[in-house]
Structure 1
Amino acid sequence: MPFTAPNLDYIINAHNYQKIQDCLSEASDMAMLIVDFQGTPVTEHSRCSAYCSLVRSNPELNNLCRKCDARGGLEAARLSKPYIYRCHMGILDLAVPIVLGGVYAGAIMAGQVVPADEDAQELETIAEGRLSAIDGDFFAELEKQKKLLPVMSRDRVQIIANMLFQINNYMIEEALLKIELNDRLEASGSQDGRAAEGRPAYNSFIIRPALDYIASHYHERITLDEMASRCNISSSYFSKLFNKITGETFANYVNTLRIRKACEYLDQEDIPITTIAFNLGFDDISYFDKVFKKIAGTTPSAYKKN
């Protein structure tokens, strides 16, 4: 049976992780980034230093940076705990493994701090390489930016690494628990049709926050990513689960609700069609006509006339 790597982006909500990562980065005075098992970023870099940005602007140095990230994450996975090391530039970094079902799925990469002198020699340096000559001005700017990096003891870094390890494990376990609980409900055959008012009875507790929000904010701009964040699950998992529970895609569900409301307005009140469209969140009247005809089977003007 072929190996299937766990999809980290399917498990976590990157938007929510980003907000937590940004806060942790500010509190710890460390740069942070979450990558998948291939080293591909899942979140955006938090507090990336000017020094490391400058280092990565050099193709040769950037290649060594990528090797450090890959080696650091794999070493953390091998140890099943945070791995603290020095990169090829002598800067202190750490990797916190993200393991799903016993399989390495990615890592939290953090660091970009200068190790205290008494700790420097104790840390392993990885991805060392022989560099070509570096322009004198470039090297001078590197030295200037390096002096601005925070200095941190190994004990302090270990405390931060342990904190990240515990927080990450808790969040991953919570996300997996939701998915496992949903799968168990599905397997037990608990789906017995739709509840009253068109609401699905089966395992809708996961996406209930999104359903409730849509029901009262259908006239506003609503995106799938925002609703996935509200349910604290990944966008891809939210999309799959939403379609399974409601029987519709997210966009069609929202549009159908809006068109039902439009029909109520057209039935009961003498309101201009353009006003109805704008009040229901449609910025383009021609798009409103198109969606209305697709769902109601006729145009808004024909519906109002009949």
Structure 2
Amino acid sequence: MNDTWEKLYDTVRTKEFQSIQDNLAKSSDLAIITVDYKGRPLTAHSECSSFCEKIRTIPEYAKLCEKCDSHGGLEAARSKEPFIYLCHANVIDVAVPIMVNDMYLGGIMAGQIRLDPSESEVEIEQIYRPSDLEGLFTDNPMLKADYDELPLVSFHKIEATAKILQTICKYMVQNPGEKLLDELTSSVEGFNHFEKRNNLTNEELLKPAIHYISEHYSEKIRLKQLAHVCNVSESYFSRLFPKNYGKNVTQYINDIRINKAKLLLSNQEMTVNYIARVCGYDDSSYFIKCFKKSNGVTPQEYRKAIGQ
């Protein structure tokens, strides 16, 4: 364990690692710092915001900042996963643990951002009671200006950065030294590729899923598959899809299947049971129920009507 920690310490103290951290911070709009298990900095702070620097100079708020950092790190260590949370100042932070044999060696702390207002429905845990920011801002108008300057970032981008940081932490303990630096460079390049994808419109981003549904509507389609072909997380896909299409993905798939069924019902030789299976319904009674809900008539009644 001591040998692992010494190699880890040597790695993150290098100029190369600091440069990688700096570049990732610039790419993601998140401030980033790597700390040991006691919260002591191992790297310089990359892209630290003016707001957070100033609020930490106020003793009562600085204590809350430390408590938030401590709680965030411990929660990440407990779950062994990145922990995204709101601090007492309504700023989003991310704690990513560095773990070896279930022992918490330290972590990469990122954040100092605000959630894009268009995603106000996203629920993020606030681990400490919000500070009286209105009163603080009234007394410190420059601090309010600094708060308003904090980057607005989509939850998708926050999740993507958290995953990259998690990968970095895993490589830290598995591949310390020069190999780690090579892998981290690849990770940052991969994130820059993601940034280009992130500039796509919602419709362009979801296009692979729409194509997948049109090709596989007769099969069982899982949310995980659709998110994967779009190269986004399941949670982000679930939020984005209804925003763009006015219905959730299950409803969309069902509509596609029902429309396909309506076309097939014109063929009098195909049984309803066969059409149900071809359109992705294992249970013909469920297919009939969905069809009637969508069209007001059963498949047989629809077939009779179009045959007249």
TM-score, length basis structure 1: 0.52
Corresponding letter in the other structure for 1:155: H
Indicate yes or no: 2:59 matched with 1:34. no
The letter of the residue matching 2:44 is E
Structure 1 match to 2:217: none
Corresponding residue SS for 1:159: helix
Aligned AA (2:149): L
Residues 101 and 17 of structure 1: CA distance in aligned 2, closer, same or farther (over 3 Å):
farther
User: In structure 2, do the counterparts of structure 1 residues 130 and 145 end up closer, same or farther at CA, with 3 Å as the change threshold?
Assistant: closer
How far the C-alpha of 1:174 sits from its partner, in A, is: 0.7
Residue pair 2:137, 2:143 contacting (<8 A) in 1 also: no
Unaligned runs of 5+ in 1: 179-228, 230-306
**Cα offsets for 1:234-288 (capped at 9, x unmatched):** xxxxxxxxxxxxxxxxxxxxxxxxxxxxxxxxxxxxxxxxxxxxxxxxxxxxxxx
Which secondary structure does the structure 2 equivalent of 1:175 belong to?
coil
**CA-CA distance at 1:34 after TM superposition:** 0.7
Distance in 2 (alpha carbons) for counterparts of 1:108 and 1:74: 12
Tell me, in whole angstroms, the C-alpha distance in 1 between the residues paired with 2:128 and 2:55.
Answer: 14
How far the C-alpha of 1:114 sits from its partner, in A, is 0.6
Q: For residues 151-210 of structure 1, what are the alpha-carbon distances to aligned partners after superposition, in whole Å with 9 as ceiling and x for unaligned?
A: 0121210011001111231233111899xxxxxxxxxxxxxxxxxxxxxxxxxxxxxxxx
Find out whether 1:45 has 2:49 as its counterpart.
Answer: no
CA distance in 2 between counterparts of 1:159 and 1:93 reads 14
Match of 2:300 in 1: none
**Residues 92-131 of structure 1 mapped to structure 2, 5 A cutoff:** 92-117=92-117, 118-119=119-120, 122-128=123-129
- Taking structure 1 as reference, are residues 149 and 158 closer, same or farther at Cα in structure 2, changes over 3 Å only? same
- Kindly tell me: are residues 96 and 150 of structure 1, through their superposed partners in 2, closer, same or farther at Cα, counting changes over 3 Å? same
Q: How has the CA–CA distance of structure 1 residues 155 and 116 changed in structure 2, closer, same or farther, with 3 Å as cutoff? A: same
Q: How far 1:7 moved relative to its partner? A: 4.1
Cα contact 2:107–2:169 (8 A) shared by 1: no
How many residues are treated as equivalent by the alignment?
177
Secondary structure of 1:12's counterpart equals helix
CA gap of 1:129–1:4, structure 2 versus 1, over 3 A, is: farther
Structure 2: gaps spanning 5 or more residues? 182-308
Q: Could you tell me the percent identity over the aligned residues?
A: 38
Match of 1:69 in 2: 69
Q: Could you say which residue in structure 2 is the equivalent of 1:187?
A: none
Cα displacement string for residues 1-60 of structure 1 (whole angstroms, at most 9, x for unaligned residues): xx9898466463412321211111111111000111111111111100111111111111
Q: Are residues 122 and 50 of structure 1, via their aligned partners in 2, closer, same or farther at CA, if it must alter by over 3 Å? A: same
Aligned to 2:163: 162
In structure 2, give the amino acid aligned to 1:45. H
Q: What is the rounded CA distance, in whole Å, between the counterparts of 2:72 and 2:2 in structure 1?
A: 22
| In structure 2, C-alpha distance between the alignment counterparts of 1:55 and 1:120, rounded to whole Å | 27
> Would you say the 8 A contact 2:88–2:131 is kept in 1?
no
| 1:171/1:4 CA distance change after superposition, 3 Å | closer
Deviations, residues 131-159 of structure 1 (Å, cap 9, x unaligned): 69648442x22211111111012121001
Q: What CA distance in whole angstroms lies between the structure 2 residues aligned with 1:5 and 1:71?
A: 27
RMSD, matched Cα: 3.0
1:218-257 map, 5 Å: none
Contact 2:9 2:42 in 1 (8 A): no
Deviation of the 1:101 alpha carbon: 2.8
Q: Which amino acid aligns with 2:111?
A: G
Structure 1 position 130, deviation (Å): 6.0
Measure, in 2, the Cα distance between the counterparts of 1:107 and 1:92. 16
Distance 2:128 2:3 in 1: 25
**Matching residue of 1:12:** 11
The verdict on how the C-alpha distance between 1:51 and 1:13 changes in structure 2, with shifts beyond 3 A counting, is: closer
Match of 2:157, SS state, is helix
Map 1:165-244 → 2, pairs under 5 A = 165-175=166-176
Checking the alignment, whether the CA contact within 8 Å between 2:34 and 2:108 is kept in structure 1 is yes
Please identify which structure carries the higher helix content. Answer: 2
Separation in 1, partners of 2:82, 2:3: 21
Residue matched to 1:21: 21
What TM-score do the two structures reach when normalised by structure 2? Answer: 0.52
> Mean alpha-carbon deviation: is it higher for 74-83 or for 123-132?
123-132
Partner residue, 2:144: 143
The one-letter code of the counterpart of 2:24 is: L
Q: Secondary structure of the equivalent of 2:176?
A: helix
Aligned AA for 2:26?
E
Cα drift, residue 120 of structure 1: 6.4
Structure 2 distance, partners of 1:51, 1:127, is: 18
Q: Is the alpha carbon distance of 1:71 and 1:120 closer, same or farther for their aligned partners in structure 2, counting shifts above 3 Å?
A: farther
Deviation of the 1:64 alpha carbon: 0.6
